[in-house]
Structure 1
Amino acid sequence: MVAGHGELELQRLQLYVDGMSCGACAARVQSALNKLPQVRASVNFATRVATIEAPAGIDTDIVCDVVRNTGYQATVRDTGAERTDDPDAAHARSLLVRLAVAAVLFVPLADLSVMFAVVPSTRFAGWQWVLTALALPVVTWAAWPFHRTALSRARHGAASMETLISVGIIAASVWSLITMFSGGEPAAGKGVWQALLDSDAIYFEVAAGVTVFVLAGRYFEARAKSKAGSALRALAALSAKDVSIILADGSELVIPADELAEQQRFAVRPGQTIAADGLVVDGSAAVDTSAMTGEAKPQRVRPGDTVIGGTVVLDGRLVVEAAAVGADTHFAGMVRLVEEAQAEKADAQRLADRVASVFVPCVFVIAALTAAGWLLAGAATNHAVSAALAVIVIACPCALGLATPTAMMVASGRGAQLGVFLKGYRSLETTRAVDTVVFDKTGTLTTGRLTVSAVTPAPGWSAEEVLAVAAAVESASEHAVAVAIRTSVEDCADVEDFRSTAGRGVQGRVSGRLVRVGKPSWIGSADAPAHVSAERRRAESRGETVAYVEVDGDVCGLISVSDRIKDSAAQTVAALHAKGLRTVLLTGDNAASAAAVAAQVGIDEVIADVLPDGKVDVIEQLRDQGRVVAMVGDGINDGPALACADLGMAIGRGTDVAIGAADVILVRDDLTVVPVALGLAEATMRTIKVNLVWAFGYNVAAIPIAAAGLLNPLIAGAAMAFSSFFVVSNSLRLRNFGATS
């Protein structure tokens, strides 16, 4: 971009940033980049992308070096291409391998460590080397992600949970080596309890246990994050990859879609995706706009009509003149909306990280004071160091590694049984405060499939006869209304001399009689019987589509087609109202149709005629009013709103983008799971908080005991095991959620 006279010429570039493990990492990279002269940067942790506005001609190597100096990897992103790899999935696979190796070695290590410490007579020549061989792969290679992050934080004077985990693992391992290879044999002939109290400080099983438990937690977190991050990849996959441009001589040339320029004309055939926003200059076709607008009924376009990139041509051939390409298209705007909404959500620190900013430094201070205190009191150096290390070891967040993932695993399993899939816990922190539930209409409150809702025959005709002759003619058409009519009967008669009039209706001969089916204005509504005309007005007031059926010039009846409301919709809205929640219908459909649906399901507040980006604005306005919003949707057009809402809930049969952007997936196509999902999310978050309180509470209570020199490593290990057992047991209570409701 070029600034005005006297202003600096700026350029926009993007970097892929790898190695970030939390929102704090993104904030650190962003802060470092913004320290560069005349540079403005924003780092999106969800997409691993840093967007930078910098002086034109800036050396990208310098920018990348700034990121690398903060401890992360950076590469320049080609803005014309989408990243095809999934860093979270790769990270999860790496963690799973480390977890498997660590778990296999931990089991014999723990057994042998306890046996050798408590029953010295079981020791044999070289027992120290056996323990060391079992422990070293766990505390070095398996625990390397924690050590690497801790070193990176240390270089920049910062600390996190990884710092405490790493130091604890190293301290326990080093002290175990010292006690095993330099210590003497403990006195024999003591009781088991006394032997336990006086046993050697072999901490290997504690170091390995911390590694295994925390690796398990990080693995499940990375796997869930990989699924959550798929929204942008799914959205990008919908864009056209190639486009057939029309040359001056009328021939066509296929080029990559990102090379399409404004005012170029291109052809789109049935089944192809429109590559850019533009104006139809030739041809007529039905365009499926459901992915972008949420409308279930295809839109018929003709010369002079505008089309949106990312929509699909169903029939006919269109010639379109590109009006907006690349980043200026409506489609690209939706991608940006999802990115921005996810970035806002990802900026929130995990609860454990927030506490760690205070907890970790405090632990090191307490450990140092413990060592100094014992030395000043005249204790032996060995005892002072042992007490200080005990503080660090006992403070290792073993239970913290289980607090969130175990609750999420149990809740996910129970949710699957109930038809609910919980993807993550960040936004669930606000679930208990949700006071407003916003519903999309098409595909959410309704089935998203057009069906025949009513048939009104004229005198002398039956409803079955009207439907039969109409289905016979419509059997030759692919229009959405035609499909609804045709599928409402089992067998259709043959049709001859079929003709279709775009935007009006169809006609043909059935058993020698001329049958026309179409809009009342095309058939001739003035000739319809009074009760048929009255039913037409009632149907249209309900937002239904009406088709007149004419046989040999006489109107024989009308057929009403509607997007049927789900049987569970009214019951769901009533259940939410019983919980004291407000409900809102937010749709791109017309006001009459939206009001009719809202009245049938019991929703009082309706916001209609809203485009996808407008849905985000509505959600933000509701939040600005102090409401905590849960959004329920299913279409691609709902993706940004689902990501923007405090709690996004996607219908499982909806699009991949909606599912990817949401926090909760409703697996069953049954809206009664919405209040169940809210309840399960609230119960899950409550369980996670109890787990975290216990985990930190355990550390707070145990640290003074360790500092006083009263905590033997084996007792500490048993206490840590009990802490983990409590966390797991508390999480398992979620298996009974909804059992009696």
Structure 2
Amino acid sequence: MYCGTCMVSIEDALAKVPGVTRARVNLTTKRVSVTYDPSRTSTERLIETLDGIGFPAAELIESSAAEADARDRDFLKRLGVAGFAAANVMLLSVSVWAGVAGDMTESVRSMFHWLSALIALPAIAYSGQPFFRSALQALRGRRLNMDVPISLGVVLAATMSVLQTTRGSDQVYFDAAITLLFFLLIGRYLDQSMRTRAAGAAANLLGLKATTATVLDDDGTTQRLSARSLKAGDRILVAAGERFAADGVVEDGTSEVEESLITGESVPRRISRGATIYAGTLNGAGAVIVRTTAADQSTLLAEIARLMDAAEQGRGRYVRLADRAARLYAPAVHILSAATFAGWMVLGHGWEAALTAAIAVLIITCPCALALAVPAVQVAATSRLMRQGVIVKTADGLERLADADTIVFDKTGTLSLGEPELIDTETIPPDALSRAAALAANSRHPYSRALVRAATARGFDVVAADGVREVPGLGLECSGAGKPVSATLAGHVPERLGAPSFVGRATTTADDDTSILGYRRPDGEVVTFRFADTLRPDAREIVSTLKDAGYAVHLLSGDRASAVAAAADKAGIDDFASEIGPAGKLRRIEELTRTGAKVLMIGDGLNDAPALAAGHASMSPANAADISQTAADTIFQGQKLRPIVETLSVARASQRMALQNFAIALGYNLVFVPLAMLGHVTPLVAAIAMSASSIAVTGNAIRLKSKRLELRR
């Protein structure tokens, strides 16, 4: 399976099977996903259907890395043999060409031709097997793919050359046949390598997960078990330098975790008790004990792989266009070749000249470049974004992102981190901060976690206080030493941490973009803590970059006016609206759309689902908790907004490169097909030109993986 024609043939054949409601082929992973009614058909029947059209199939079993390496080695062997043969046959051909103009005798020329045949024919038989097998499978299934004209052209060129050699002719085309195979193998190897790496960007993530884990039993003993046998609730010991085998929460120990494969962030994250970790990330500094929350196929890593696979099964509009063009073009190749042969015969040029021109047309009109034009770009783009921590969930997501001209941000959790931070810590009495953090140590409230983080950053060893109880909706209360809350020590009152009214402070709300929490000491004194949901560190820089690139930037938030105004001012956004709920955001996006704007909505994948769906395109900053539920087309991770610029840059560049590849493929055909039909292109030149066009579109796409991109108007 190598081209759009193959994909369409498979999907059409499966769609005709009773009970099948959906069939979608993933060319990159060589897989087909079928949705069907088990009461009306079966897996066996689906496999028989695929076998019947020339595509032997089997139920999915994950292939090992060793098998993939064996396939690559086999392909490289065929490429090496073709290259060796092409070089030697070309040397002989150059000698013959030079001899024609000199005094080479007929016997010497004939010997050179037979030597060329001796080198080329075994090489063609061996190196051409991938094309020949694919063509035979297609013909058995009564269909055409792009390997049919390739195989036909190679076989005809080789056969005609043998006949010409036996007759002592001056012209043979062994060089064309073997050179065609050599360049085609180069192009296909580049394409397959890129697809393998792209598929590996998701699938190989699973390979980074530890295969075994050290499990701690209740009695303190340890045992080494397979990662597949882990389940939620297990306690595992992860040493420094090991990868985590499952998602979980740190119960004991401190370390640093390198999680670039999940978030795209290269800087290690400091972890301690209560921190969340993910399968596949690398434990860097010290041993930690982790309580697993998800294992095997339930981990974030497995979910990302599933999302990537689902996106690859889709079709963007350019991919659909290329597939249709390749499908229609395949029979046109044979029609043009037959018409060329008939035309030359009618004009009385003889069968040799007619067949030579027909072979050249057959070779030069192969739709390889057209079939590779868009998929190659799509694979390169998604692979690049995956390395940046960006997951493309929909096949046409990048195409719609490239069209966007207006960007709408949500505030909390999108423009901001969504995690309150304690501010003005230098003015807080150290003993008050330490004691308040002790009260908050076991609480999961965002403000409590912020207090613990701040105390830890100040160097305090936070130990949970005894006798703490939570008062729902108000805060935490502690009597100390495990005494009843109602009891008081001489001259002391119970400690409280919570809302200003709960601790006895008159002010209940902040008058700016901050929030207030109070801590009442045992002596009754109240210490105020101020929290701010800080903007992402590069928010202002990214907004400025987007505006410079010509995007209109808006901010919509359900937060209070003062907080939204402050956030908009810090980020440099002039157009903002506050206290606007999900329905209001939806209406605002619909209004922008009616004015002709193509809106990119960037918001919380859970709370902003209606607005995300209404936008022309959508992105979400997502952590592991909601990555599978988010409604966005594209997901980025990490604490920075830089992935937005990277994604938009890649989207625009991929659109340009897709159009460039279309231009290369179509321009090549418009120039060379008429020349070939008129007899001005030999089979050798046709082979080089066709292979060059395929390599050109693949090479152009590969540039996207490392090209420096800037977001401009």
Alignment TM class, shorter chain as reference: 0.5 to 0.7
Q: 1:100 to 1:316 in 2, by over 3 A?
A: closer
Deviates more, 1:136-145 or 1:708-717: 136-145
Using the TM superposition, give the Cα deviation of residue 349 of structure 1 relative to its aligned residue in structure 2, in angstroms.
4.0
User: Secondary structure at the residue paired with 1:202?
Assistant: helix
**Residues 580-631 of structure 1: per-residue CA shift (max 9 Å, x gap):** 54567799x9899995896454374776699857766643333xxxx2x142
Query: Aligned to 2:350, which of 365, 380, 391?
Result: 380
Q: Distance in 2 between matches of 1:398 and 1:171?
A: 19
Report the residue type matching 1:703 in the other structure: V
For the residue of structure 2 that corresponds to 1:106, the secondary structure is helix
Equivalent of 1:685 in 655, 664, 679: 655
Deviation at 1:229, TM superposition (A): 5.0
- In the superposition, the TM-score normalised over structure 1's length comes to 0.63
- SS of the aligned residue for 2:679 comes to coil
Q: Aligned in 2, Cα 1:213/1:50: closer, same or farther, shift over 3 Å?
A: same
Aligned in 2, Cα 1:560/1:204: closer, same or farther, shift over 3 Å? same
Deviation, structure 1 residue 69: 2.0
**Alpha-carbon distance in 1 for matches of 2:305, 2:42:** 28
CA distance in 2, matches of 1:421, 1:317: 27
Amino acid at match of 2:145: S
Q: Which residue does 1:480 correspond to in 2?
A: 449
CA contact 1:450–1:561 (8 Å) conserved in 2:
yes
- CA separation of 1:407 and 1:344: change in aligned 2, threshold 3 A: closer
How do 1:97-116 residues align onto structure 2 when only pairs under 5 Å count? Answer: 97-99=74-76, 101-103=78-80, 105-106=82-83, 109-110=86-87, 111-112=90-91, 114-116=93-95
Contact 1:64 1:74 in 2 (8 A): yes
User: How far apart are the structure 2 equivalents of 1:338 and 1:731?
Assistant: 19
Query: Which of 476, 500, 505 does residue 504 from structure 1 map onto?
Result: 476
SS class of match (1:55):
coil
- Pairing 1:112-511 to 2, within 5 Å after superposition: 112=91, 114-120=93-99, 127=112, 131-132=116-117, 135=120, 139-179=124-164, 181-184=165-168, 186=170, 202-227=175-200, 229-230=202-203, 343-345=313-315, 349=319, 351-397=321-367, 427-437=397-407, 445-447=415-417, 451-455=421-425, 462=428, 466-470=432-436, 480-489=449-458, 491-492=459-460, 498-501=466-469, 504=476
Deviation at 1:102, TM superposition (A): 0.5
Letter in 2 for 1:94: R
Query: Which of 35, 40, 43 is the equivalent residue of 1:51?
Result: 35
Residues 144 and 331, structure 2, Cα contact 8 Å, conserved in 1: yes
Structure 1 residue 368: Cα displacement: 0.7
Between the aligned partners of 2:462 and 2:630, the Cα distance in structure 1 is 47
Once residues 567 and 434 of structure 2 are traced to their aligned partners in structure 1, the CA distance between those partners, rounded to angstroms, is: 32
Q: Quick check: 1:213–1:398 contact (8 Å CA) kept in 2? A: no
Could you list the per-position Cα deviations for residues 439-461 of structure 1 after superposition, in whole angstroms to 9, with x for gaps in the alignment?
6877764457664234496xxxx
Counterpart of 1:8? none
Residue 49 of structure 2 is aligned to residue 32 of structure 1: no
Question: 1:729 and 1:147, CA in 2 relative to 1: closer, same or farther beyond 3 A?
Answer: closer
Classify 1:427/1:117 alpha carbon distance in 2 versus 1 (closer, same or farther; 3 Å).
farther
In 2 relative to 1, CA 340–418 (structure 1 residues): closer, same or farther, beyond 3 Å? closer
2:289 and 2:173 map into 1 onto residues whose CA distance is 80
Q: CA deviation at 1:164?
A: 3.2
> Partner letter of residue 375 of structure 1?
M
For structure 1, which segment, 413-422 or 473-482, has the greater mean C-alpha deviation from structure 2 after superposition?
Answer: 413-422
Larger mean Cα displacement after TM superposition, 126-135 or 389-398? 126-135
Contact persistence 1:497–1:508 (CA under 8 A): yes
CA contact (8 A) 2:53 2:142 kept: no
Aligned pair partner of 2:621 in 615, 625, 633: 633
Offset of residue 52 of structure 1: 1.1
Query: d(CA) in 1 for partners of 2:193 and 2:522?
Result: 68
Provide TM-score, normalisation by structure 2. 0.65
Structure 1 residue 104: deviation in Å?
Answer: 5.9
CA displacement at 1:434 relative to structure 2: 2.5
Whole-angstrom CA distance in 2 between matches of 1:182 and 1:440: 77
Q: Is the 8 A contact 1:594 1:608 kept in 2?
A: no
Specify the SS of the correspondent of 1:151.
helix
2:528 to 558, 563, 566: 558
Q: What is the distance in 2 between the residues matched to 1:494 and 1:637? A: 26
Partner of 2:498: 520
Note closer, same or farther for the CA distance 1:84–1:373 as it changes in structure 2 (3 Å cut): closer
Q: Residues 12-50 of structure 1: CA distance to partner in whole angstroms, max 9, x if unpaired?
A: xxxxxxxx5567655544543443445544446476331
1:149-198: CA deviations, max 9, x gaps?
3333333443333333333333334334444x325264xxxxxxxxxxx7
The residue aligned with 1:66 is 49
Letter in 1 for 2:154: I
**For the aligned residues, what is the CA RMSD?**
6.2
Inter-partner Cα distance in structure 2 for 1:565 and 1:171: 67
Maintained 8 Å contact 2:20/2:34: no
Partner SS state of residue 175, structure 2: coil
Partner SS, residue 548 of structure 1: strand
1:109: Cα distance to partner? 1.5
CA contact (8 A) 2:582 2:607 kept: no
SS of 2:349's partner is coil
Count of residue correspondences: 617
Letter in 2 for 1:227: G
The corresponding residue for 1:537 is 510
Amino acid at match of 1:650: F
Distance in 1 (CA, whole Å) between partners of 2:141 and 2:94 is 42
Deviation at 1:361, TM superposition (A): 1.7
Aligned to 2:168, the other structure's residue is in SS state coil
Residues 95 and 649 of structure 1: CA distance in aligned 2, closer, same or farther (over 3 Å): farther
Q: Which secondary structure does the structure 1 equivalent of 2:457 belong to? A: coil
- 1:207-238 per-position Cα deviation (integer Å, ceiling 9, x unaligned): 22342233134313422441365499699999
- What is the aligned partner in structure 2 of residue 619 from structure 1? 612
Q: Percent identity?
A: 24
| Structure 1 CA distance for aligned equivalents of residues 142 and 562 of structure 2 | 60
Q: CA deviation at 1:373?
A: 1.5
2:636 aligned with 1:650: yes
Name the CA distance, whole Å, in 2 between partners of 1:621 and 1:740.
Answer: 25
**CA 730–235 in structure 1, closer or farther in 2 if over 3 Å, else same:** closer
Q: SS of the residue aligned with 2:144? A: coil
Change (3 A) 1:493 1:332: closer
Give yes or no for contact 1:394–1:716 (8 Å, CA) kept in 2: yes
One-letter code aligned to 1:155: R
User: Structure 2: how far apart are the matches of 1:131 and 1:22?
Assistant: 32
Query: C-alpha deviations, 1:651-690, integer Å up to 9, x for none?
Result: 3xx5xxxxxxxxxxxxxx6424533442343233313322
Indicate how the Cα distance of structure 1 residues 388 and 39 shifts in structure 2: closer, same or farther if over 3 A, else same: closer
1:508–1:335 Cα change, 3 Å: farther
Aligned to 1:504, what secondary structure does the other structure show? Answer: strand
Distance in structure 1 (CA, Å) of the matches to 2:527 and 2:685: 85
Tell me, what secondary structure is at the counterpart of 1:159?
coil
